[in-house]
Amino acid sequence: MIFKNAYVLTDRFTFEKCDIETDGQNIVNVGNCPSEGIDCTGKYIVPGLCDNHTHGCVGCDSSEAFSVDVIDRMSRFYAENGITTFLPTVTTASADNTLKSIETIVKALKDGVTGSNIGGIHMEGPYFGEKFKGAQNPAYLRNPDINEFMKFYKASGNSVRIISVAPELFGAPEFISEASKICTVSMGHTDADEEQARTAIDCGVSCMTHTFNAMRPLHHRNPGAVGIALDSGIYCEFICDGFHINKTVIRIMYKLLGDDRMVFISDSVRAAGMPDGEYEFSERPIIVCDGKVRFPDGTIAGSSATLFECVKNAISFGIPAESAFKMASATPAKAAGIYEVCGSITAGKRADLLVLDENFDIEKVMIRGRFFSKKVVD
């Protein structure tokens, strides 16, 4: 299939008028294709989005995914909304439930899903402390345990791509040193001070989990983990739903970090794609009102946004479209260690593409070289 005359967001992350040729699975050429194809004059084509941090959607949760059908249902919703790669994110739970969830995700990965690609697994927990647990279930919080983690990792078929951990916990430096050899280690839900955060990065932390949310605030005399992360050169996740972080802060972070380090995530829970109402997250009730997700005590409990909505928000905040799409495609793919297969429009990579109109709204989604059929999720 050949796309002709589109404004293509190339792997230089500038919009250039050119053609794209695919072979039914991968991109084979970006440039001038002499053969006829689909006329995309006036359209934009961008790489499919990669959501590194999403717990669920349409009533489903990765941590309670004990059926491949649940993962497939999620994958179709993501595909409909421009997310062509996602990391099912399992939250703090019992060891047995975590293992069951991982095994189900791995089965879905091996058997294949009908929507978005599974890029691997993000384990958000259980190695967090009580003070900044956020939406994590306190009943299952514990100190880092490399032996336990290796059981999860082996059960995943080596597909855990990210593990989030609080670096101030007992044994964290040793855990980070070992875990960072096999996957991305991200620090989050943390009360770490400056020294603890620097030690974590020295030991192998390369990302920060939903920066600013559920962690010690940045202070001018005590920068803590936030300050060290921003100063260090590691990747930093941001929930750009317009609720978790003020738009002015998003703009400031963009000026500071640029699109090579700033990673947009949704942190969506099962309420994404669902109406306001009462749901459950991490075995506890949550309430969704005006799209905002909270526990009954008012604590924020993830989001109901999609990653594509986060990109559109960023553009409306004043972030250049080229950078907004990069921070939801190439940069997260690099942070998760999967950039060799997705995240940019490059010959040899999977043909995961979004065809957009002049307002950057989705017209067509291509996954693995085939157009995804936009059907309403049952």
List, by residue number, the catalytic residues.
Answer: 267
Strands 49-54 vs 27-31: parallel, antiparallel or unpaired: unpaired
Is 103 buried (19+), middle (13-18) or exposed (0-12) by CB count in 10 A? middle
Strands 2-9 vs 15-22: parallel, antiparallel or unpaired: antiparallel
Dist. CA 228–CA 343, nearest whole Å = 27
Per the structure block, which two tokens stand in for 277?
């109402």
Dist. CA 83–CA 118, nearest whole Å = 10
Q: Nearest CA to 323 among 266, 268, 267, 255?
A: 255
Strand residues in 191-271 grouped as ranges (E): 205-208, 235-239, 262-265
Task: Please answer whether residues 100 and 68 qualify as being in contact, where contact means their C-beta atoms are separated by less than 8 angstroms.
Answer: no
SS3 340: coil
**Degrees, nearest 5: CA angle 318-320-325:** 120
Q: Which residues contact 358 (CB under 8 A, 6 or more apart)?
A: 42, 43, 44
Dist. CA 311–CA 324, nearest whole Å = 6
Strands 15-22 vs 27-31: parallel, antiparallel or unpaired: antiparallel
